[in-house]
Structure formats: structure tokens, C-alpha cells
Structure 1
Amino acid sequence: MKKMFTLFLAIFLVVGILAACSEQKSSSNEEKEGEPSEPVTIKVHTYGTNDVYKWEKTVSAFKKKHPDINVEIVELSEKNDSQEALKKIDLGAASGEEMDVIMFPFIDALAQRAQLGMVEELDKYIQADGINMEKEYKFDLKVNDHYYAMPGKFNLMYVLLNKDRLDAAGLEVPKEWTWDEFQEYAKKLTGDGYYGTYFHGPFQFAWQQYMSLNLITQESNAGFLKVDGSSNMNDPLYKKSLELRVKMEKEDKSAVPYSQMISQKLNYRDQFFTQASSMIVTGSWLLSELGGSDRFPVEFNIAVAPMPKNNPTDEFSYNPTGGDLLGIYANSKHKDASYKFIKWYSTEGQFEQAAFLPSWTKASDAEIESLIDQIFSESANPDKLDRETLLHTIKSTKSAKISQPVPYINEINAALTVEFEKLILDQQDVDTTVANSKKIVQDIIDKNK
């Protein structure tokens, strides 16, 4: 299954890209060195909807700086669903659809498509501008030691809690806690008609962090591969991650059943904002929605807690950080204009958008706090968020060290998802799942040496 998935995507994209190449070569690029000779329109393909990403005001601010570049936002999902959007992007590439800027939700998705030649390498642009990517942005963007994107928002993972239910249960908002304590909270926050928590994944070969929660919340080697690229399946925290999911769903009955998630195609926004679940492990990509959105007006109080620790003595809360990645489609006819947009968007554009935490390191703590206040001042119910718990979580979270993405990471993700589903759907036990996972990951690494 995993091999068919990877092979299908590779053939699908390569055929489309090669077909589009002949058209690109036959037409001269509309842009010369420097400014375009006449206004051009670039298409930005994104999973972000206007109510969450504030595209209208963002594009308006960019237009003031670059009046010769029009930006058309192509929204690919009404639910801000990145997986739905990626499928449509792949279909667009295969069919020769015009695209300029593509937004990716995480670096693995970017790496896979960069490997297939779908995304333009940006090294020449970055070097010409003298940008030090490692110093100017909060997370590593390299794919095989090259840059194919610039970041938008900065994502760190945290836990959102229904504070009204916390108060009713006599529970404090955790400033630091362990996974054992998280499980206890979930049991106490489960009630008639609602669960203590909901895990959004793994789902459709993505959202693997939800099957590796203990593994990703350590300081280093926070993933299926170690920092050096070797297998990390021997780490006992992988087994603990699986045991956590099984215990909470099967024994405690405090987590939404996985079978229900996949059969009903549940979404984490719906689960939390409709109060079907009392808390969710999610991330700062939801920041602009915590004061309410058009789709989900907030009718309860919300608190934020750091990701749980594996050891109570750990100094910080760790998790793999990342964010939106904006790349240029390899067959774009407006690459210079597209680069100008993603460069602007990754820096001052984040403040104009005022919807998320920026990845740009030149933003000071004071500017970030001011940005947060601005974000919530524009929401319908800014008083519903416990601002101090959010600020504490941001300050107490550190980036975990992970490996650079490899071209075959999606094959690993797909294979481990299959093993997890066998476990959670009662087809095999934890020990068998771990043993199979070790063999599968090592076989994939060996095959790709």
C-alpha cells in the first residue's frame, strides 16, 4: 500500500511536470532581471481560508509595497485542511494547472515534492539577497542541503483546554506536566456526551505526531529517524507513545476512538470548538481562531498548556517546531514576482497578516506580545482566551532536534500508519507493532542507501 502510494504520486507529478516543461520553454518568461516590465498576477495555492489567514488585508498590504504584482489567492479547502489541499495541488501539477506560489504545511510534504522536481530551488535568490536562513528563521528549512521554501507562520505544539470544564473539575491550568498527568486530566475531563481528548491522527499518511507523542517531546531525536538519519525505532519512547494511545482509548475511554475519527472523518477544530472534546493536542496554527472565527464562535473559556514532558525534571517542554512553507512552483512563469511575495510574507508580511506567530527571528518578544494582542483584538470574543497561559506556553517551549527530511519519509510515515492502525483496531498487540516498525523502517532506509 505504501509503495503504491509513493509510486503513484511520483509518476503522477513527474508526468505533469514534464508536460508543463515544454510549454514553459516555448514561452518566454514574462519577467526580466529586476522589476517586471508590466503588472503580473501570481497565484498562491493555499489550504488557508480568508477568515483564518486574513488574505484580503494581507494581499492589500503587499500590493502597497509592490503595485506591479497582483496576488490571486486560490483557497483549496473550506476546512483549512492541508491534506485535502495537497491532493488538489498534486492534481494541478499533473494536469498542467497554472500555479506560482504553493503553501506546504510541513517540511516532509515539501521535501517529497522537491525531490520530484515540482518546487523551485531558492538558493540563488537567497544568496543574491544575502539572507542567512539559519539566523533569520526559527526552524531549519533545508532539504538535502538546499532551500526550496521560506516560512510563514511559526508552529509550536501545545494543549488547548476547555477552561470552564477545568474549573468544574477543580483542575488548575498546568504550567508544566507529564504525560501521566495528561492522562489523568483526560479522565477527569470526560463526561456525558463528550471525551477528555481527541487525537487527530495518524490520518491519510499524515499527522504522525499523534502516534509518537512521547517520542516527539524529547530534546533530541524527536521523530522516527534520529538526527543522523538512522532509525529511531529502538527508542523506548516510541513504545510508550503507542501504549499511551491504547490506554487512553481502550482502558480509560477518555479519548475519541480512532475508528470513529477515520469513519466520520473528524476534524480537530470541530472536536474542540463544539466541545465534543475537553482538550486537544494541537498547535499555534490555531492562534487566530482562539477568540472565535466565522465558522466557530467561541462560547467557552480557553486556556493553553505546554506539551507534557516525559520527565518532570526536564527544564523545558520540547516538541518539533515548524510552520507554513511557501515554495515556488517549478513551472511558474512569474518566479521573480513569486519570490518577492514569499520573502515579504515571511518577514514583515507576518505582522501585516496579524494571524499567527512569526517564524522571523528579528521579531522581538515585545513585538510578538503586541502582535498577539492585535490578533485577539480583532476577534469576536478576545476575552475567552487566557492570555497569560498562552504567553507562558510560548516562553516555556523549546524546539526539539530532528533529522533533515529524507525523500522516503512519506514511505516511512505510510508504513507506520498501517502498523498503528493494526494496533488501535485490535489486529495486533503493542510488542508486535514495535517489532514490525523496527524492521519496516530499517528496510526502507537500507533500500534507499
Structure 2
Amino acid sequence: MRNKKWLTVLTVCVLMLGVLSGCGGNNKANGGEGSNSGPVKLTMWGAVPPENGPQEVVDTWNTAHPDIQVEYVRFVNDDDGNLKLDTALSTGQNVDLYVNYTLTNLDKRVKGNIALDLSGYTDYNIDEKMGADAASWKVDDKYYGMPTKKNSFFFALNKEALDKAGLAIPTAWTWDEAREYAVKLKAEGFKYGLVQHTASLVDPLDSVLVKDGYVKADGTSNMDDPLVTQWLETLNGMMKDDLTTPPLGEQLTSKMPVENMFLGGESAMINIGEWLIRSSNNTTEFPRDFQIAFAPVPRLTGNEADFVKSGGLGDFISINSKSKNKDAAWEFLKWYADGGMLPMAAGGRLPSSNAVDQQTAIDHLLGDHADSYDKESLEFVLYNDKTPTFVRGIAQEIVDMRAQEYEKYFLGNQTAAETVQNMVKRHNDFLKLQGK
């Protein structure tokens, strides 16, 4: 009898230990991680097509980390695509990590409590790894994610055309000088001297207003900064007087493929960013017989000390604050930033972490096509141009408002003075509403 009683007690103790072991296990504070039911599964949403690097990244991680498996989901980085991501985040669908491509979208997601404050993790110093430019992504002085890509904006130029025209590769220049280049290069037989995406077209405007302030000391709009008018008139002159860049109306209605025009030899220069390399390396779809050189973006002001340019860091990856696997997501994010993302370099996405060797990144960027680029000028615009940078962070309402006004000007429906006056009025109206 006594033996049976002790056997019963022993059986109960064993069962209790099993229950306690199952409850405690290796789970971490953020829930669900490191359980014995199988590998942790993470889902990362980004806008880059899987075949342009993301799939190789997650495949490499998954092979080395059988306990944490990552799936990549692509969304298109436009209004509809970002709405799809926001819906998935707000409705609790499977999103553990996601990429923010603008400060506007990040700010909205922080306010929606779907971006994790990373200050709880102390084993990785974002400021030290990414440099001073990382701070432009802070919201209320906190990181709700990590910038992972070095944004590089530049002019790409047809090197053979430069040589024929007797023009040097600029290392610092103004828009007036770029306008002269466009005239001389068009004379070499090109349809245009310069083409640019409509998104890049407005960068000089932000360059001025970031430096001088979007709002004056008295709280009113600074859209009437004299350099704003200079930008309008310079670009309009290139469109209508010089005929060296496409009229905006034609570009908008035709959805002009400006990269194709540059790589196909119709334009001698293009105002673009590092993503050009993805297309220029694709010599099957974009065959070319010229070497590509690179120059910094021009400035409106003649004083280099007064110039800031679009750039900074991008591909800001956040962890969903509602994820059940936050710690695992953090481990993947650190690995990705410190070199795991190198397969993305072939598509133009250079790692921003100083843990990644610059030459290694450039080798991945150019692949087998290094001889088709002027490497000295490329390295200069990527790593040696010390011009301060900014990331556009103004409200989308302001971006849309001013686009509506400057489009009227470039389409010939109002003067430069009227355009500036209307932008100031509408900006002031916006500021008044924000102040209520």
C-alpha cells in the first residue's frame, strides 16, 4: 500500500514537472519564441522584387538559422501597396518586419502603434553603426526601426559624349553649369541633354527649404525663398528655351521611361539614384556601348557651404509591435543590416552599416560589369562626396499641394510669380489648420 501511495505521488510530481517545463520552456519575453513546436516563422514585407536580392537574402539566413525561418512578401511601394501593408498591420495579419520608404509612412505607423520602439534592445548601437544620417529617421527622438540602405542620388553621364564635347566629369557644380552641359551634350546628337524622374525633379526645391527652413521665424511659409523661383525658371528654361529636357506635360502623359532613354542613348545625362545600376547592369535588356560616369547633383546656390542634397539613409525596417516574435525579428534585422543584405547591392541597394566593407559593397554592386563604369567617379558620389544630406520629411499634403502648383507653371497655365504666391498661400492655410 505504501509503495502504491509513493508511486502515485511520484507520478503526479513527474506530470507537474512536465507541465511547468512546457509553460516555462525557452520562451522569451516577447512571446512564442524558442518553443519546442518547431522553428520560429517570420514574415518580412518589402517592395523590392524577390529576384532582385530579397529571396537570396532570406534563403541564406534560413540555411544558417534553421530555428528562425523568414518568408519574404513583396508589396508595391505606391499608395495602393502601402495601403495593403497598413491593412495587414492593423488587422493582425502575418507581418513581423516591414520596410518604410518614406518618413511620412513611418510617422503614420508609429502613431498607429504598429512600429516597435527599439530602445529596449541595447546590444546594437544604430547611431554608431549607421552614422549621423540615421538620426533623421528618429520619431520623438526614438528609433522605431533601423535604416539599412545608403541613399545615393547623382547624375549619370554618357562618358563618351563628355569626352567628345570636351567636358570634364564634375565633382561639384551648379544648375546653371548643368544647364550648359545639357546644351553642349545635346549638340552631340542626343534628343535630350538631361532626363529625370518626376520624383527627382523637385529635389532642388527641398534642398533649398531644408537648408533655409520650410517656415520662417514668424511662423509663415518660406515657399517664396528666391531660390524657389530660380529653380522654377531654370528648369522651365531647359524645357522650353533650350529644349534640352522633356516638357513636363509630355513626360506626365507619356509616362516617359527615362532610364530607358538614357541607357538607349537618347539622353546624355540622367538625374537618378543608385537603382539605375540594376538596369544598367542588365545589358541583355538594356544593351549599351558607352561607359557611365557619375557626378554629384547640382546645387542652386553658388556657395557649396549652403548646400544640402537629397540622400541620407533609406530602407527603414521596422518590427511590428504586435509581432509574437519580436526578439527573433531583432536578431534577423541586425544580421541583415550588418551584411546579410549584400545580395541586394546588385540591385543598387548599398548597406549603410559601417560593418560592411565599402569595396565589397561596390564589387557586389557592379558584378561582372565593372569595366562599363567610370569607377573613380562612382566611388566619389557613393562614398567621398561629403555634402550634407536630408531625407524628405514634410507632410504629404504639402508635397501634393506644391506639385499641383508647379505643374501649372511648367504646363504654361500660370507664371512663376503666381506659382510662388499660390504655394505660399496654400502652405499658410495648411499651417493655420495645423495650429488649431
Q: TM-score range by the shorter chain?
A: 0.7 to 0.9
The aligned residue for residue 412 of structure 2 is 426
The aligned residue for residue 57 of structure 1 is 56
State how far apart, in whole Å, the 2-side matches of 1:227 and 1:357 are.
38
Where in structure 2 are the equivalents of 1:382-421 lying within 5 Å? Answer: 382-393=370-381, 394-400=383-389, 405=393, 409-421=395-407
Gap runs ≥5 in structure 2: 1-26
Structure 1 length as normaliser, TM-score?
A: 0.77
Shift of 1:445: 2.3
State how far apart, in whole Å, the 2-side matches of 1:399 and 1:227 are.
23
Shift of 1:225: 5.7
Shift of 1:416: 1.0
The aligned residue for residue 337 of structure 1 is 328
The aligned residue for residue 202 of structure 2 is 211
CA shift digits 1:426-448 (9 cap, x unpaired): 11111111111122222222312
Where in structure 2 are the equivalents of 1:132-281 lying within 5 Å? Answer: 132-138=125-131, 139=133, 140=135, 141-190=137-186, 194-201=191-198, 207=199, 209-213=200-204, 215-216=206-207, 221=211, 224=214, 231-281=221-271
The aligned residue for residue 44 of structure 1 is 44
Where in structure 2 are the equivalents of 1:364-379 lying within 5 Å? Answer: 367-376=357-366, 378-379=367-368
Deviates more, 1:255-264 or 1:333-342: 333-342
User: Is 1:325 matched with 2:311?
Assistant: no
Aligned residue among 121, 128, 137 for 1:128: 121
The aligned residue for residue 435 of structure 1 is 421
Structure 2 length as normaliser, TM-score?
A: 0.80
State how far apart, in whole Å, the 2-side matches of 1:200 and 1:129 are.
40
State how far apart, in whole Å, the 1-side matches of 2:397 and 2:94 are.
28
Deviates more, 1:220-229 or 1:394-403: 220-229
Q: Match for 2:423: what amino acid?
A: S
CA shift digits 1:292-349 (9 cap, x unpaired): 3665455431000011133445269731323111123455444333333223222222
Where in structure 2 are the equivalents of 1:294-309 lying within 5 Å? Answer: 295-309=285-299
Secondary structure at 1:397 match in 2: coil
Gap runs ≥5 in structure 1: 1-27, 202-206
Q: Match for 1:76: what amino acid?
A: F
Seen in structure 2, the aligned counterparts of structure 1 residues 85 and 51 have a Cα distance that, compared at 3 Å, is: same
Shift of 1:32: 2.6
State how far apart, in whole Å, the 2-side matches of 1:439 and 1:326 are.
36
- Are the counterparts in 2 of residues 193 and 276 from structure 1 also a CA contact under 8 Å? yes
Seen in structure 2, the aligned counterparts of structure 1 residues 353 and 212 have a Cα distance that, compared at 3 Å, is: closer
Shift of 1:233: 1.8
- Are the counterparts in 2 of residues 292 and 298 from structure 1 also a CA contact under 8 Å? no
Shift of 1:247: 1.3
Secondary structure at 1:176 match in 2: coil
Shift of 1:267: 4.1
State how far apart, in whole Å, the 2-side matches of 1:299 and 1:44 are.
39
Q: Match for 2:127: what amino acid?
A: E
State how far apart, in whole Å, the 2-side matches of 1:362 and 1:442 are.
45
Secondary structure at 2:350 match in 1: coil
Deviates more, 1:225-234 or 1:164-173: 225-234
Seen in structure 2, the aligned counterparts of structure 1 residues 46 and 33 have a Cα distance that, compared at 3 Å, is: closer
Q: Match for 1:444: what amino acid?
A: F
Seen in structure 2, the aligned counterparts of structure 1 residues 247 and 112 have a Cα distance that, compared at 3 Å, is: farther
- Are the counterparts in 2 of residues 306 and 397 from structure 1 also a CA contact under 8 Å? no
Secondary structure at 2:211 match in 1: coil
> In terms of Rg, which structure is larger?
2
Shift of 1:252: 1.3
Secondary structure at 1:44 match in 2: strand
Percent identity for Structure 1 against Structure 2: 29
The aligned residue for residue 16 of structure 1 is none
State how far apart, in whole Å, the 1-side matches of 2:429 and 2:265 are.
43
Where in structure 2 are the equivalents of 1:4-19 lying within 5 Å? Answer: none
